[in-house]
Amino acid sequence: MENPFNRDAESLGNVTFLEHLNVEIPNQALASDFYLMGCGFTRDPYLFPGTNNMWVNIGKSQIHMPTGEPLVFRGHVGIVTPDREQLLNRFQGVKSNLKDTKFKFKEHNDHVRATCPWGNKFRFYEPDVERFGKINLGVPFVEFTVPPDTAMGICRFYREILGAKAEVKGNGEGKAAYVTVGIKQCLIFRETDKKLKAFDGHHLQVYVEDFGGPHDKLAKLDLITEESDRCQYRFEDIVDLDTGKVLFTIEHEVRSMTHPLYARPLVNRNPAQTNRNYIWGGDSWVYNLPDTVGPSGRQADPLKAPKAPTIAKRRALRAQQATV
């Protein structure tokens, strides 16, 4: 049968979902001003409601922020959110509350850059189906800055150890490894000549389909740093598979798709909703844009479908046998 579809385009590889990023913060009040009031995200209403940790929902992904000394990602986080004007107005509204912190924001051609009170950097883009998929709120990528001549080795590590889809690309901003970690989600490792800060313990969490295979490979390389529980383990170093040299360090929290939290539905509020301009039914935010898998391939005349004659003969035989 003729196949009109590119089946490989729908393959994610072994890594299926980038669920959360994790940093530590010293002040949840300031975090609320930036992440909730400024960015327009939503605090998870069910888990960690106290002051020792804050889980913030961004579409189907999260940022986890336990209380502690600040941790900072080396690079930036890409965010999709609608309505640039509303975003800028919200940032302007929290500016005075965050004046004695590292908070800042600036408008660029196709995005808005913002820095959290402790130095984590974000780039906010409006929805773009071709680039980011069919979402209007989410985390499509995390970009890390890495040492020169490491992109190829990082790409190979993710392909051979984690079974991820990965490729190296070069553009005006330099050579980078792009690793698929979900539907229209990727980790980007961009080479730089600049001096990099030391790893401070921040981490990211991904789900994988083949849970045991990567674990065995990581264990043989002595890279496992934590055997968390039956559904989770951790590692930190991304290494050159020929020499063992550490190329980059970022803690990975690796979970199986049997983990109880896998695909947990998250609450997302509509930040445009106010008590002064209230709309019934407008409190929650549907973070997905309409999607379709296209036409089903159904024939207008079922008897002209490719396998219709075979199916018709089989049915006729069954009917004949039933009457005997």
| Dist. CA 296–CA 287, nearest whole Å | 25
| Dist. CA 136–CA 123, nearest whole Å | 14
239's tokens: 């290494």
Q: How crowded is residue 229: how many other Cβ atoms within 10 Å of its Cβ?
A: 9
Residue 181 confidence (pLDDT) above 80: yes
Residue 119 confidence (pLDDT) above 90: yes
What is the per-residue pLDDT for 172? 62
Residue 250 confidence (pLDDT) above 60: yes
Residue 305 pLDDT level (bands cut at 50, 70, 90)? low
What's the Cα-to-Cα distance from 111 to each of 39, 62, 107, 302, rounded to whole Å?
A: 13, 21, 6, 49
Residue 11 confidence (pLDDT) above 90: no
Return the minimum-mean-pLDDT range out of 167-171, 206-210, 253-257, 258-262.
Answer: 167-171
Q: How crowded is residue 189: how many other Cβ atoms within 10 Å of its Cβ?
A: 29
Share of the chain above pLDDT 90, in %: 81
Q: How crowded is residue 74: how many other Cβ atoms within 10 Å of its Cβ?
A: 19
What is the per-residue pLDDT for 298? 60
Taking only the tens place, the pLDDT of each residue in 41-64 is 999 999 999 999 999 999 999 999
CA angle at 248 for the pair 244 and 254, rounded to the nearest 5°: 90
Q: Taking residues 224-245, report their average pLDDT.
A: 98
Question: CB of 216 within 8 A of CB of 225?
Answer: no
Residue 289 confidence (pLDDT) above 80: yes
Q: Taking residues 129-141, report their average pLDDT.
A: 95
Residue 194 confidence (pLDDT) above 60: yes
**Average pLDDT in the chain:** 92
Q: What are phi and psi of 34, to 5 degrees?
A: -75, -55
Residue 299 confidence (pLDDT) above 60: no
Q: How crowded is residue 4: how many other Cβ atoms within 10 Å of its Cβ?
A: 7
| Dist. CA 130–CA 184, nearest whole Å | 10
Residue 239 confidence (pLDDT) above 90: yes
Residue 300 confidence (pLDDT) above 80: no
